[in-house]
Structure 1
Amino acid sequence: MNSIFITDLDHTFLRSDLSISPFSEHIWNAKVAKNILTVATARSFKKSEQFLANLQINAPMILLDGALIVSQKRQIIQSLCIDKALGDAVIDMGAALQSFPFVLARQGTALDEVFLYPAQRNAYQDKLLQRYRGDDHLQEETDIRARAANFKLVYMGEEAMLQELQKHLYGTFGDALKYILAPEAYMGCFFLTLLHPHADKAHGLQCVSEYLERDLSEMTVFGDNLNDLGMFAKAGTSVAVSNAHETLKARADIVLNHSNDEDGVARYLEAQGV
């Protein structure tokens, strides 16, 4: 029976300059002929399509940290969102601490998203926006508010500040949200991502398992950061790239000798045979 491989993108399959090497591209497309390959990423559908333009995908993609599951035929399998009332309440609480989030919301269909960013930003947010310059789904908001359906709200800043914010949010909203606090190596800061309580990669993996009618034990997953922990716990085999967070390495079945910039995932796939 064919094998199932699911990889994170940033700092795992993508190189640090957000490119995919010719070697990784070749190995992926050779492997996909006889196996199942897809991604589990914090990235949106649009951005993932751009990164994966030259790769063949033959299984559902886990997107937006699990808030959106989309088949290889662009059909929506699952969409989990934060509603406007809850989103606005979160924004109001953050504003009291002078912190304002990015809001990635549904616009029209679930495959058409808008990236809202606040007029009041910190240096980390400005730096991230420079990487998105030219994207047509960016929209600045003088008074940022949630939309009717929000895939996720994302705060950026120093770890201590975001820990305080998370404490306040959890004290008010409890398990009505999923909270992911993780380092962001590109920016040298931390992200606090807020999602629907079932929108994470672990639930996404379960959804893909049911869609494919294959057991979780048959899946091999690759990752680098704390938002991959749930996926690592569920999959049959978990593989961390050499540049992964130490906590994730400790939970991995396999730690690679190569990083994302050294084609770690592709080297592993090549070693499994085609």
Structure 2
Amino acid sequence: MSQHMIAIDLDGTTLNNQSKLTPLTIQTLQKLDHMGHLVCIVTGRPYRTSKEIYQVLNIVTPMVNFNGAYCHFPDRPEWLASYYHELDREIVFDLFNRQDELGIQLVCAEGKERLYTSSMNLPESPYYPAEDASYQKLSRQTLIHNPIAVTLFTSEADQIPIQKKIMASYPNQVSVRTWGGEIPVLEVVSKNLHKAVGVKTIADFYHIPRQNILAFGDEDNDLEMIEFAGHGVAMSNAIQPLKDIANDITEHSNDQDGLAHYLIDYFNLSFN
């Protein structure tokens, strides 16, 4: 079989409901990697909270973070196709100053390796591990460079109204995506960035035709990637708009090894 690119979202897709990789998922993705296919993590997470997952999978491929704002090859800074798109830090400070007006509970600005937060009282979450020493209080003295993304914590009911206000305030500068789940957030990145930008960059670099791209996702921030892929697959636990545009839907959820089972069937894998 010709080389395929397999673009995998993490939360709600590759990871189970405890944000963990299962043995079957690891075995399946490593098998595909050994067969010469390109297994690439494409996530909204920063690198600092996806690095361990990449290392556990033990695959040597590029990855995409921040919903397409950062495309890189871990430990290979010379990789020619790498990029990252910054966000003007003045937008961060403006959102910080407008927290009460907009109904934002917490502002987190993300650099490549460091988090700047309006409050050190962060929610318990795999995205913000308590033992992480890279957090700094957000201020003009600490955030001296443009970040890659800004995460805004809100109530789920307020997400869409806040999203519209932010888009109206910076119409030619930002894209804003919603994340649901236990900790609903908005993620702000530079205009016209999404996961498909990173997927296309990697596929073009390795000369993988679009029809050989498989992509798996479950949420709003996976829409462009699923639509772009030659074979876009929505998880059975995915939001309905994603299922509506996908080429296929997994039989099992992320908490039932849905990704692994689908890939085993698709590539007719067998394990000794």
Which TM class, normalised by the smaller chain length? Answer: 0.7 to 0.9
Aligned to 1:10: 11
Change (3 A) 1:216 1:104: farther
Provide the C-alpha distance between the structure 2 equivalents of 1:231 and 1:130, rounded to a whole number of angstroms. 22
Letter in 2 for 1:164: P
Q: For the Cα contact (< 8 Å) 1:10–1:18, is it kept in 2?
A: yes
Change (3 A) 1:269 1:40: same
Aligned to 2:227: 233
Change (3 A) 1:222 1:149: same
Provide the C-alpha distance between the structure 2 equivalents of 1:219 and 1:129, rounded to a whole number of angstroms. 28
For normalisation by structure 1, the TM-score amounts to 0.87
Could you tell me which of 41, 44, 50 is aligned with 2:43? Answer: 41
Matches within 5 A, 1:30-179: 30-34=31-35, 35-75=37-77, 77-106=82-111, 110=112, 113-119=113-119, 126-128=123-125, 132-141=129-138, 147-179=144-176
The yes-or-no answer on 1:270 pairing with 2:269 is no
For normalisation by structure 2, the TM-score amounts to 0.87
Change (3 A) 1:10 1:147: farther
The yes-or-no answer on 1:19 pairing with 2:20 is yes
Change (3 A) 1:37 1:118: same
Q: What are structure 1's unaligned runs of at least 5 residues?
A: none
Provide the C-alpha distance between the structure 1 equivalents of 2:214 and 2:203, rounded to a whole number of angstroms. 12
Q: For the Cα contact (< 8 Å) 1:226–1:248, is it kept in 2?
A: yes
Change (3 A) 1:158 1:186: closer
Provide the C-alpha distance between the structure 2 equivalents of 1:144 and 1:101, rounded to a whole number of angstroms. 19
Change (3 A) 1:72 1:137: closer
Q: 1:155-200: per-residue Cα shift (whole Å, max 9, x none)?
A: 12223323222222222211310111231x233xx32110011431
Structure holding more strand per residue: 1
In the TM superposition, what is the alpha-carbon distance from 1:95 to its structure 2 partner?
Answer: 4.2
Aligned to 1:186: 182
Q: For the Cα contact (< 8 Å) 1:201–1:227, is it kept in 2?
A: yes
Letter in 1 for 2:202: V
Provide the C-alpha distance between the structure 1 equivalents of 2:135 and 2:200, rounded to a whole number of angstroms. 31
Provide the C-alpha distance between the structure 2 equivalents of 1:206 and 1:193, rounded to a whole number of angstroms. 21
SS of 2:104's partner is coil
Provide the C-alpha distance between the structure 2 equivalents of 1:198 and 1:57, rounded to a whole number of angstroms. 29
Q: What are structure 2's unaligned runs of at least 5 residues?
A: none
Q: 1:18-65: per-residue Cα shift (whole Å, max 9, x none)?
A: 111111111111111111111100112222121222213243101111
